[in-house]
Amino acid sequence: MVQSSVLGFPRMGANRELKKATESYWAGKSSVESLLETGKTLRAAHWKIQKDAGVDIIPSNDFSFYDQVLDHIQLFNAVPERYTKYNLSPLETLFAMGRGLQRKATDTTEAVDVTSLEMVKWFDSNYHYVRPTLQDNQTFKLSGTKPIDEFNEAKELGIVTRPVVLGPVSFLHLGKADRGQSVTPIDLLDNLLPVYEELLTKLAEAGAETVQIDEPVLVLDLPEKTKKAFATAYSKLGALANGPKLVLATYFGDIVHNIDVVPSINHLYGLHIDLVRAPGQLKDVLAAVGEKQILSAGVVDGRNIWKTNFSKAIGLVETAVEALGADRVIVATSSSLLHTPHTLASEKKLDPEVADWFSFATEKAKEVAIIAKAVTEGSDSVAEELKANAASVEARATSKRTNDAAVKDRQAAITDADYSRKSPFPERIAAQSKTLNLPKFPTTTIGSFPQTSEIRVQRNKFTKGEITAEQYEKFIEKEIDDVIAIQEEIGLDVLVHGEPERNDMVQYFGERLNGYVFTTHAWVQSYGSRCVRPPIIVGDISRPAPMTVKESKYAQSKTKKPMKGMLTGPVTCLRWSFPRDDVHQSVQAEQLALALRDEVIDLEKAGIYVIQVDEPAIREGFPLRDGKEREEYLKWAVNSFKLSTAGVEDGTQIHSHFCYSDFQDMFSLISDLDADVLSIENSKSDAKLLNVFKKEEYPRHIGPGVYDIHSPRIPSYEEIKNRIEEMLVYLKPEQLWIDPDCGLKTRQWTETKPALTNLVNAAKFFREKYA
Ligand SMILES: CN1c2c(nc(N)[nH]c2=O)NC[C@@H]1CNc1ccc(C(=O)N[C@@H](CCC(=O)N[C@@H](CCC(=O)N[C@@H](CCC(=O)O)C(=O)O)C(=O)O)C(=O)O)cc1
Ligand SMILES: N[C@@H](CCS)C(=O)O
Ligand SMILES: [Zn+2]
Consecutive 10-residue averages of pLDDT for the chain (771 residues): 98 98 98 98 98 98 98 98 95 97 90 93 97 98 98 98 98 96 98 98 98 98 97 96 97 97 94 98 97 97 98 98 98 98 98 97 98 97 98 95 95 98 98 96 98 97 97 98 98 98 97 97 98 98 98 98 98 98 97 98 98 94 93 96 98 93 80 96 71 90 93 93 94 97 96 98 98 91
Probe ligand 2: pick from 487, 505, 618, 658, max atoms within 8 Å of CB?
A: 505
CA of 252 to the centre of ligand 2 (A): 26
Q: Which of 73, 50, 67 is nearest to 120 (CA)?
A: 67
Alpha-carbon distances, residue 243 vs 129, 162, 235, 286, 368 (angstroms): 28, 13, 12, 26, 28
CA of 593 to the centre of ligand 2 (A): 18
Q: Which of 143, 233, 141, 250 is nearest to 186 (CA)?
A: 233
Cα 143 from Cα 573, distance rounded (Å): 41
CA-nearest residue for atom 7, ligand 2, is 743
The pLDDT, as a whole number, for residue 659 is: 84
Alpha-carbon distances, residue 356 vs 158, 180, 293 (angstroms): 33, 54, 37
CA of 683 to the centre of ligand 3 (A): 12
Q: Which ligand is nearest to the CA of 659?
A: 3
Angle between the N-to-C axes of helices 749-769 and 469-490, in degrees from 0 to 180, rounded to the nearest 10: 40
The pLDDT, as a whole number, for residue 688 is: 67
Query: Phi and psi (nearest 5°) for 231?
Result: -65, -45
E strands, 494-630, are: 495-496, 514-517, 524-527, 530-532, 536-542, 563-568, 610-614
As for ligand 2, residues whose beta carbon falls within 6 Å of it are 446-448, 505, 566, 614, 616, 657, 659, 742-743, 745
Cα 153 from Cα 173, distance rounded (Å): 31
Which residues are known to be catalytic?
A: 710
Contact residues for 492 (Cβ-Cβ < 8 A; gap 6+): 443, 444, 445, 561, 756, 760
In short, whether 505's Cβ falls inside 6 Å of ligand 1 is yes
pTM, entire model: 0.96
8 Å CB contact between 112 and 88? yes
For the question of an ipTM over 0.95, the answer is yes
8 Å CB contact between 653 and 609? yes
The pLDDT, as a whole number, for residue 692 is: 86
CA of 464 to the centre of ligand 1 (A): 18
The pLDDT, as a whole number, for residue 695 is: 85
Contact residues for 614 (Cβ-Cβ < 8 A; gap 6+): 446, 447, 505, 566, 567, 568, 569, 572, 656, 657
Q: Is 173 annotated as a binding residue?
A: no
CA-nearest residue for atom 6, ligand 2, is 743
Other CB atoms within a 10 A radius of the CB of residue 477 amount to: 18
In short, whether 118's Cβ falls inside 6 Å of ligand 1 is no
Long-range CB pairs of 379-382, under 8 A, 24+ apart, other chains included = 379/314
Cα 694 from Cα 703, distance rounded (Å): 14
Cα 216 from Cα 170, distance rounded (Å): 7
CA-nearest residue for atom 29, ligand 1, is 503
Other CB atoms within a 10 A radius of the CB of residue 137 amount to: 8
Q: Which of 441, 426, 432 is nearest to 733 (CA)?
A: 441
The pLDDT, as a whole number, for residue 696 is: 86
The pLDDT, as a whole number, for residue 240 is: 96
What type of residue sits at position 330?
Answer: I
In short, whether 526's Cβ falls inside 6 Å of ligand 1 is yes
Beta-ladder partners of 130: 119
Measured from the CA of 743, which atom of ligand 2 is nearest?
Answer: 7
Query: Phi and psi (nearest 5°) for 565?
Result: -75, 155
Cα 734 from Cα 441, distance rounded (Å): 7
578: helix, coil or strand?
strand
Cα 553 from Cα 617, distance rounded (Å): 27
What type of residue sits at position 424?
Answer: P
Name the DSSP class of 419.
G
Q: Is 614 annotated as a binding residue?
A: yes
Half-sphere exposure of 556 (CA within 13 A, CB side): 20
Measured from the CA of 572, which atom of ligand 2 is nearest?
Answer: 5
**Judging by beta carbons within 10 Å of its beta carbon (0-12, 13-18, 19+), is residue 32 exposed, middle or buried?**
exposed
